[in-house]
Amino acid sequence: MRRPPIELHRGELRVTGSSLHLDATRRVECAFVSHAHGDHIGRHDRTIATDATLALMRHRLGEPKRRPTEHLPASFRAPFGLGELTLELFAAGHVLGSAQLRVTRNGVALGYTGDLCTEPTHAAEAAEVMPCDVLVVESTFGHPRYVFPPKDETLLAVRKFVDDARSDGATPVLLGYALGKAQEILKYLSDAGVPCRVHPVVHAVNKVYEAHGVPFPNVKALAPDEGPGFDEVVVCPPHLARSPAMRGVRRRRTAILTGWAIDGSRFFKGVDAAFPLSDHADFPSLVRYAKATGAGRVFTVHGHEDELAAALRKEGIRAEPLKEQTQLELI
């Protein structure tokens, strides 16, 4: 039996027969980091990622005080060697700097998507299709019930929510993750001339985006104990909606921006509306993407992996969830 291309080793994804891990959260010898969200990063001996992801990691983790990390910045579509492996990054469309990874060894190309968004984006690089023989695909929204409306339609609905709140003399508060979702809505609104205030945590992430060529006109940080000005929109991470920085935001009308809004606004306490604005691919997009790669075998991970694998099998693709201790073949 041929050696498997990828395995789950102590709960972490690893390219078999190498030290290369994929989005490991515990410290490992060498890791590819697809993007800088907290559930995909860690302090490693060597870290392979795009320059933007490395900058966002430094912002989120700080500089290590003891064991230093060797950062190995990589560009999109620029193959490079790592021992017997050839690595190449492809844009993932998830957040700024997010990348997919293709690992080629002995003529077989293994693709790993990380978190993927195939819809157009305002604040990140557009996703590319990554041709490969074997695909490992994230399955966050890999259940058939997760079908998002077109992004333009969702953004127009958010804009109407903002305009209606301002017309009623209320401050629109939009809740979205500090990295990714916040920048997506801020770019959309601020480029349209809508004045925005942001929680300091979001403001700090914005600075990293701006250093990598993504400007945010008409956006300022919330000042301590000072409310937003007339007609300003406030953008804040959901878990910080009641933090000290938000004390000055008094008469609010609040909406949360998340793909989980498909499940209904009743699942979110303290909000007036929920909009399915996501930086992940929905179910139909994941199926289309897997087929577009040309992969003869697909492994699903993270989320609704069972449902996505079943749907891909119906499309004639050999697909299964990647499990610990599973014995896999190459193709």
Over the chain (331 residues), the average pLDDT of each successive run of 10 is 74 92 91 90 90 94 73 95 96 98 96 96 97 97 98 98 96 97 98 96 98 96 82 95 91 96 82 96 98 97 96 97 62 40
Predicted local distance difference test score (pLDDT) of residue 8: 87
Predicted local distance difference test score (pLDDT) of residue 270: 85
Spatial distance between the Cα atoms of 229 and 231, rounded to a whole number of angstroms: 6
Predicted local distance difference test score (pLDDT) of residue 3: 59
Contact, 326 vs 163, CB < 8 A? no
Q: What is the pLDDT of residues 122-151, one digit of tens each?
A: 999 999 999 999 999 999 999 999 999 999
Which tokens hold the place of 40? 């995909």
Cα torsion angle, 42, 47, 52, 53, sign:
negative
With a CB cutoff of 8 Å and minimum separation 6, the contacts of 234 are 171, 172, 173, 174, 196, 197, 198, 199, 222, 228, 246, 249, 252
With a CB cutoff of 8 Å and minimum separation 6, the contacts of 188 are 122, 155, 158, 159
**In order of start, what are the domains of the chain with their CATH numbers?**
6-146+280-321 (3.60.15.10), 151-275 (3.40.50.10890)
Spatial distance between the Cα atoms of 205 and 50, rounded to a whole number of angstroms: 16
Predicted local distance difference test score (pLDDT) of residue 40: 82
